[in-house]
Amino acid sequence: MHHDRSIELRGIRKSFGEVLALRGVDLDVPAGTVGCVLGPNGAGKTTLVRIVATLASMDSGTGRVAGLDLATDARRIRERIRLTGQFAALDDILTGRENLEMIARLARLDRHRARRDAGDLLDRFDLTDAADRRVSTYSGGMRRRIDLAASLLGQPEVIVLDEPTTGLDPRSRQTLWSVIHELVGEGTTIVLTTQYLEEADALADHITLIDRGEVVATGSPRDLKARLGSDTAILTFGDSTTYERAKERLVERGDVQGDDTDLRLSFAIDATSATLVALLDELHQAGTPAARVELTTPTLDDVFLQLTSPRTAAMR
């Protein structure tokens, strides 16, 4: 059976006592893509993915995961989905290999398969040397790796990763990213939460930005950036006379931000070569050449800061 949308949640609400964690969240992740749930700390990301992985119940709303109903088919969903949480879900007293073999058996692989797949995954995640050491002796990065390896056992259709790279060094983060790329290449659907915009930008096909339990924006990384409008030109001038003259001229174009100390002007611009050539020509002919020209595209950080609430922005 082919499912267009691997994950389809509608109007998910969830509260813990007085605290409203989710206030009607929709989430769509097409099969074979990376859907990213982005948001500041406390936005409700973990609660949302725990609901997707059937570990938490919802107060109201409906959801389908891998074509199955969250409310009635939790057991079968668990055959198709794995969650790698923020804290490695492993048995510290067992070795890495024993953990993988145990989880493989519980994921319904027979003894032989369990042993073989555990060995393969240890190789793939560069953990063979540490395979027969207890997990309690592993470093943070190794724990994340073995935890992710555990999630791949039984070839799930959907893998949910809750802040998979929080606290990892850049190299481990790169390794994890490449594994995620490989998995998507093999057709796995990935749901990823993160508070790192760079990560969402690098991995996500589709971002759901949530804040205080609500969806504040959805779209591809490019869509979200485009929502903030066009690119920005930043011109820096060599002396204040040139700066002032250029400013007078450019103000006519519309909204220009001037920085009188750094002699810098910035304004929105359509970043095609024709527009840029025309602009630079105009400045040259007016005898007000810029000492330095920069173009910037809005980053996801801009989107994030603009769309998430000042309260949470201030907390960051």
Tokens of 199: 């990560």
- Size of the residue set binding another protein (CB under 8 A): 31
How far apart are CB 162 and another protein at their closest, in Å? 10
Site for another protein in 108-147 (CB under 8 A): 108, 134
How far apart are CB 150 and another protein at their closest, in Å? 7
Q: Which of 9, 12, 25, 103 binds another protein (CB under 8 A)?
A: 103
Residue 93 binding another protein, by CB under 8 A: yes
Which of 89, 313 has the CB closer to another protein? 89
Residue 79 binding another protein, by CB under 8 A: yes
Q: Which stretch binds another protein (CB under 8 A): 28-36, 100-108, 192-200, 234-242?
A: 100-108
Residue 92 binding another protein, by CB under 8 A: yes
- Measure the CA angle with vertex 101, ends 99 and 106; round to 5°: 95
Q: Which stretch binds another protein (CB under 8 A): 28-36, 80-88, 277-285, 292-300?
A: 80-88
How far apart are CB 12 and another protein at their closest, in Å? 13
Closest CA to 208 of 58, 10, 20: 10
| HEC assignment per residue over 254-310 | CCEEEECCCCEEEEEECCCHHHHHHHHHHHHHCCCCCCEEEEECCCHHHHHHHHCCH
Site for another protein in 25-64 (CB under 8 A): 50, 53-57
How far apart are CB 187 and another protein at their closest, in Å? 20
In the complex, the residues that contact another protein under the rule CB under 8 A are 50, 53-57, 75-76, 78-79, 81-83, 85, 87-94, 98, 102-103, 105-108, 134, 150
